[in-house]
Amino acid sequence: MEYIVSARKYRPLTFDTVVGQAALTTTLKNAVKSGKLAHAYLFCGPRGVGKTTCARIFAKAINCQNPTADGEACNACESCQSFNEQRSLNIFELDAASNNSVEHIKTLMEQTRIPPQLGRYKVFIIDEVHMLSTAAFNAFLKTLEEPPAHVIFILATTEKHKILPTILSRCQIYDFERMTIRNTVDHLKHVAEQEGITYEEQALAVIAEKADGGMRDALSIFDQAASFCQGNITYDKVIEDLNVLDSENYFQIINLSNQNKVSDIMVLLNNIINKGFDGGLLIQGLAKHVRNVLMAKDPQTLPLLEVSDQQRQRYAEQAKTCETRFLYQALRLMNQCDINYRQSSNKRLLVELTLIEIAQITQPDDDASAGRRPKRLKSLFKKLIRQSQPQTAAPQVAAAKPVVSTAAIVAPEKPVPAAMPNTATATTPKPGVKLGGIGFSWNKLRNQGKPSKINLPDSGSALNKKETETVFKQEDLDLQWMSMCNRMPQELSGIATRMKNMNPTILDFPHLEVVVDNALVKQEMEDFKGRIITTLKNGLHNNAITLDIRVAEQQERAKVLTRREQFELMIKENPAIESLRQAFDLELA
């Protein structure tokens, strides 16, 4: 006996046997019962969900001479029998992928003029209609808008967005849904029982998940798994045959992350990669797993999990051991890893770092093995400083509470007045260490060699309103300008890049000028000129700064050099650069 694959053998023959499209099949049956038929239908949706199958069933029911009370074909009349035996002259199927020219459409249009010999309608099923050329669509428009009374078109496509809007407006559109995991598993159970194949429900769930919403794909994978398993489909054999990563690995990674066991996670990752699994697929699968765990934390979202009942229970158990904050941060880290995976030159290291960061989410901040930067470094220094200061000076000063005049500070050689207690002359405390004097900072390096700025009093004092008049040099202006460009927000990144190549100059201190390439750049900078001036005032400590932005004259516009021209110019100025390039055998990128 000839072997027929399950996708063809168990193809639905009636509306009631169509899986997962109850709303659409009910609408089509009601149209057949009432006789209110449109002249054009468009069936669209993902692959393998029943578009062409429903088109054939619908065409058969339309021409049935004795339809049933619920709108199904009788399968007994001459029209139904001729359709079942593939000799019907009233139903035509056209593959638009291979018949997409204007000539093919014109030939089809000529066939529409001939009335049906048996039955009431001529039905034209055009599959993959989005493959028609634009000229073919235009040739099809007039007939589609006003076809003969005995003609019905049924168009099927997986890419509705590629069809002309003029075609869409002339059709009744039916959107087919993806198959759910539950519907696919139930149908696979029915097929397995009909074929006498034993199975594990978890194994069928893996097949359904691998099919990604397509019933035809699920049946094809089912046949492959049944052949590999020799009639006994088990979970272990299915994941081995389909090369699917066992979900147990995901459960283990999350459990180990909750326990901060980074070493065990690295060993598990090494075993997974040695089995031939890609690190990027592991991150994608783990992200989906964490999403399912997050959904399982709330009973309202638990039904959203498209998994078997056994797996749903496992997700619910693990959700009880995971904090919501941990799941959110883990999803964010894996999403970032997925974005950077393709561009990474060391993909395994990227995956390892991501898993390490996930394992450290729940680790205490003060743990030395957490691998994080200390958050209380400044308080540690303060503690050391307090320990280095003498403890006896404080109570003596507190008891005396001397009032020291400014004159005494300026002229210490004068004698202390007799009214002042002798405790003021007690042992002078050793000078404490100031945090500002430890190490170097960019502000220190930047301020070396320039006048000290005017220290403003505390907020609320009248001196706060006085303008500072610090003198600055051209190199100070260049440094502040570049620093401002680097701190500009993301939405101004384009103009910030242009501004980095500009050279602001001091015309008449403190009046500044910036020369730009064209009027568009000038207008864009004028929109936030006030913010630029405020930033420069704060950075250069001079409230009298003003700024002019003007477009460069023709003679001022310098030629934009290429990298090669820049390199050649550098060689002319410093021949040693060429010697360095030859010594290291370097090439200009």
State how far the Cα of 385 lies from the Cα of 56, in Å rounded to an integer: 87
Helix (H, G, I), strand (E, B) or coil at 197: coil
pLDDT confidence tier of residue 389, bands split at 50, 70 and 90 = low
Does residue 216 sit in helix, strand or coil?
helix
Structure tokens of 32?
């057949």
In degrees, rounded to 5, the angle at the alpha carbon of residue 156 between the alpha carbons of residues 88 and 132 is: 100
How many Cβ atoms are within 10 Å of 201's Cβ, its own excluded? 15
At residue 220 the predicted structure's pLDDT band, cuts being 50, 70 and 90, is very high
Assign 153 a pLDDT band (cuts: 50, 70, 90). Answer: very high
Nearest partner of 34 among 71, 8, 59, 9, judged by Cα: 71
Question: What local confidence, expressed as pLDDT, does residue 372 receive?
Answer: 55
Structurally, what CATH architecture does the domain formed by 474-556 represent? 2-Layer Sandwich (3.30)
pLDDT the model gives residue 559: 64
Q: Distance between CA atoms of 217 and 209, rounded to whole angstroms?
A: 10
pLDDT at 383: 52
pLDDT of residue 221: 92
Is the Cα dihedral 201, 202, 207, 209 positive or negative? positive
Between the alpha carbon of residue 338 and those of residues 281, 283, 315, 342, the distances in Å are 9, 7, 23, 8
Predicted pLDDT at 464: 41
The answer to whether 467 and 543 have CB atoms below 8 angstroms apart is yes
User: Encoding tokens for residue 211?
Assistant: 């099919």
pLDDT, residue 434, reads 47
Spatial strand order in the sheet of 151-157: 91-95, 122-127, 151-157, 40-44, 172-175
Query: Residue 465 gets which letter from DSSP?
Result: G
Q: Say which residues have a Cβ less than 8 Å from residue 137's Cβ, sequence separation at least 6.
A: 163, 164, 166, 167
pLDDT of residue 451: 41
* pLDDT of 370 strictly over 60: no
Q: What is the pLDDT of residue 473?
A: 87
Matching fold, domains 6-175 and 474-556: no
What average pLDDT score do residues 566-572 get?
A: 85
Q: Is the pLDDT of residue 380 over 70?
A: no
Mean pLDDT is lowest, of 124-138, 238-252, 360-374, 403-417, for 403-417
pLDDT digits (tens, 9 = 90+) for 100-128: 888 888 888 888 888 887 778 889 999 98
How many Å apart are CA 181 and CA 304, to the nearest integer? Answer: 11
How far is residue 76's CA from residue 66's CA, in Å, rounded to a whole number? 8
Q: What is the DSSP letter of 438?
A: S
Q: What is the pLDDT of residue 558?
A: 62
The residue-averaged pLDDT of 70-82 equals 87
Euclidean distance between CA atoms 349 and 138, whole angstroms? 54
Share of the chain above pLDDT 90, in %: 17
| Bridge partners for 339 per DSSP | none
pLDDT value, residue 436: 46
Give the ranges where 160-232 is alpha helix by DSSP (H): 165-168, 181-195, 201-211, 215-229
473: left (phi over 0), alpha (psi -120 to 50) or beta: beta
Confidence of residue 283 (pLDDT cuts 50, 70, 90): very high
Whose CA is closest to 580, among 378, 570, 8?
Answer: 570
SS3 448: coil
Task: Give the SS3 label for residue 68.
Answer: coil
- Please report which helix (H) or strand (E) contains residue 41, including its range: strand 40-44
Amino acid at 545: I
122-127 vs 505-508, strand pairing mode: unpaired
Quote the pLDDT of residue 387: 57
pLDDT of 314 over the 80 cut: yes
Which of 60, 50, 6, 8 shows the shortest CA–CA distance to 25? 50
| Confidence at residue 560, expressed as pLDDT on a 0 to 100 scale | 59
What number of residues does the chain have? 589
Q: Is 234 exposed, middle or buried (0-12, 13-18, 19+ CB in 10 A)?
A: middle
Query: Which pLDDT value is given to residue 149?
Result: 87
The predicted-structure confidence for 416-439, as pLDDT tens digits, reads as follows 444 444 443 444 444 444 444 444
The Cα 402–Cα 391 span in angstroms is 19
Q: Is the pLDDT of residue 413 over 80?
A: no
> Residue 402 has what pLDDT?
43
- Residue ranges covered by each domain of the chain: 6-175, 181-233, 247-361, 474-556
The confidence score (pLDDT) of residue 460 equals 37
Is the pLDDT assigned to residue 64 strictly greater than 80? yes
* The pLDDT of residue 457 is above 50: no
Instruction: Specify the pLDDT at position 463.
Output: 36
Identify the weakest region by mean pLDDT among 3-7, 325-329, 359-363, 559-563: 559-563
- 531: nearest Cα among 478, 495, 497: 495
What integer pLDDT is reported at residue 438 of this predicted model? 46
Look at residue 358 in the predicted model and tell me its pLDDT.
Answer: 92
Condensed to tens digits (0 to 9), the pLDDT of residues 468-517 reads 678 888 888 889 899 999 888 888 888 888 888 888 998 888 889 988 88
Residue 9 pLDDT > 60: yes
Residue 79: closest CA among 109, 122, 43, 108: 122
- Asked if 58 and 188 touch (Cβ cutoff 8 Å), the reply is no
pLDDT band per the 50, 70, 90 thresholds, residue 589: low
Residue 84 pLDDT: 86
Q: Are 480 and 540 contacting, i.e. CB atoms less than 8 angstroms apart?
A: yes
**CATH no. of 247-361:** 1.20.272.10
What's the pTM value of the predicted model, to 2 decimals? 0.57
Residue 554 has pLDDT above 80, yes or no: no
* Residue of 536 and 586 predicted with greater confidence: 536
Task: Tell me the pLDDT of the chain averaged across its residues.
Answer: 80
**CATH number of the domain located at residue range(s) 6-175 in this protein:** 3.40.50.300
Question: What contacts 98, CB < 8 A, 6 or more positions away?
Answer: none
